[in-house]
Amino acid sequence: MSAKAANAISPARREDYAEWYQQVVKAADMAETSPVRGCMVIKPWGYSFWENIQRNMDAMFKATGHVNAYFPLFIPKSYLEKEAEHVEGFAKECAVVTHHRLEAGPDGGLVPAGELDEPLIVRPTSETIIGATYAKWVQSYRDLPILINQWGNVVRWELRTRLFLRTAEFLWQEGHTAHETSEEAWEETKRMLEVYREFVEDYLAIPVLTGLKTAGQRFPGAVETLCIEAMMQDRKALQSGTSHFLGQNFAKASGIIYQSREGREEHAWTTSWGFSTRMIGGAVMTHGDDDGMVMPPRLAPSQVVILPIFRSDEERAKSVEYAEGIAGALRKLRTVWGDPVSAIVDKRDVNAGEKGWEWVKKGIPLRVEVGPRDIEKDAVFVARRDRGAKEKYGQGREEFIASVPALLKEMQDGLFARALACRTANTRDIDGFEEFGRFFTPKNAEKPEIHGGFAMSHWCGGRDCEDRVTNELSVTIRCVPFDVEKSGGGNCIVCGKPSKGRVPFAKAY
């Protein structure tokens, strides 16, 4: 009891969720704040998680016909200005480069010199620069479709930042496609949302709702934005990936014109879709517990850590050799998802208890202790990260090794089931505005983060009703589900006018 309390994350989730989150990211050694305000340093354990996200998602993009390319970090201001809604949406968070040189100043320091004729914007997203490039590439319908993805970084100047969730610079991928017809572009927009849904549910083990954003929540310049939305453990929503149908808006702004099959000049139809390091924060907030991070096994930087236990140099040599043997045998196995099992041996000369806790906090799925007595019995001592930190079981070595692929799958499925149960328990159909208000009003003023969760309520489709709940309760419509009519018709929670079906309302990150 006392050992656990000393090692657990402080504060606990229930005490202060926001601070708990920061402490988990720190304790798991995933990222830290940097000397540059608002920017983070992603540490090896966090970056390795991102690399696994990248590798698996990239394979899904390639399997759906996309290729990768790279476009400039800087965007001429005039490009951004070409699409009115787009520039309005991003203007407030642009980092602007105005000079290209430093010179000795009057006080001995360096001052910017060489003012640029046209300021450059550090990309907040790349629709305009990529659009200008596609305009050069596309002449005929034969040049379409273009199906390109870019892995890179973007900058959106944020004043209030939180590691992974909101930082001035973050890593992401952005897909940009151009098509001959509206139908094709729509198919692409939906296809990529489905890729995100599959990835977030099957790899990150986070259940999501899918649907369309309302007009007020759309990507600036898009005709429609499709999204996946997840519920975190504090019952707030996290937008977890978006796919935009841009219609001909950006093609017109950038001049992506092609000669059609009938010989006419037409504007292309474009899409864009993005997914970022923000979802690392989403994984922490969905799976983390009061002992630290819990990595979904399918994307964990390592799936098994083997901890040799020893008291003397002689024991050390034996334990390490035994541990290496187990790691080697595990690496020859494949997970049920087809990748080799990833196993590491932590040989550091650190107190065994302390070492064990470090791995608990990092969220590695399986911890295996091997000491002299286990070696004698040809056995191991196993702890699963989805169980209590002190819960361990002994098992024969061979038997354990053979069990690992199924065990990882069981843990992955268990994490998803737990997250889904949390969402289900905190989602409610609500029909009266008073009850709706109570649902989103914290019962305890000292813990404003504790509120109802997702309210499934009727909405007439009117902007005024949406704005009212946003202004009064800081609640937004997360999406209009694709199958909105399935929940049956009713009356708008705000104005009482007819509604086609229920939509999820929630507080959001």
Least distance CB 455 / Zn ion (angstroms): 15
Least distance CB 461 / Zn ion (angstroms): 7
- Contact between residue 94 and residue 157 where contact means Cβ atoms under 8 Å apart: yes
Least distance CB 496 / Zn ion (angstroms): 7
Locate 437 and state its tokens: 């208000």
Binding site for Zn ion (CB under 5 A): 460, 462, 465, 492, 494-495
Locate 100 and state its tokens: 């290209």
- What does the longest C-alpha to C-alpha distance in the chain come to? 83
Least distance CB 183 / Zn ion (angstroms): 32
| Complex with Zn ion: residue 154 or 480, whichever CB lies closer | 480
| Complex with Zn ion: residue 172 or 433, whichever CB lies closer | 433
| Complex with Zn ion: residue 149 or 457, whichever CB lies closer | 457
Contacts by residues 27-35 (CB-CB < 8 Å, ≥ 24 positions apart)? 27/292, 27/293, 27/361, 28/284, 28/292, 28/293, 28/361, 28/362, 28/363, 29/361, 29/362, 30/163, 30/164, 30/280, 30/284, 30/293, 31/163, 31/164, 31/280, 32/163, 33/163
Q: Is 326 left (phi over 0), alpha (psi -120 to 50) or beta?
A: alpha
- Contact between residue 503 and residue 234 where contact means Cβ atoms under 8 Å apart: no
- Contact between residue 360 and residue 321 where contact means Cβ atoms under 8 Å apart: no
Locate 368 and state its tokens: 């295996």
Locate 384 and state its tokens: 């699963």
| Complex with Zn ion: residue 342 or 476, whichever CB lies closer | 476
The three-class DSSP label of residue 265 is: strand
- Contact between residue 177 and residue 138 where contact means Cβ atoms under 8 Å apart: no
Least distance CB 256 / Zn ion (angstroms): 38
Q: How far apart are CA 83 and CA 76, in angstroms?
A: 13
| Complex with Zn ion: residue 371 or 490, whichever CB lies closer | 490
| Complex with Zn ion: residue 112 or 488, whichever CB lies closer | 488
Least distance CB 439 / Zn ion (angstroms): 18
Nearest Cα to Cα of residue 233 among 389, 442, 13: 13
Least distance CB 493 / Zn ion (angstroms): 7
Least distance CB 459 / Zn ion (angstroms): 6
| Complex with Zn ion: residue 44 or 488, whichever CB lies closer | 488
| Complex with Zn ion: residue 207 or 211, whichever CB lies closer | 211
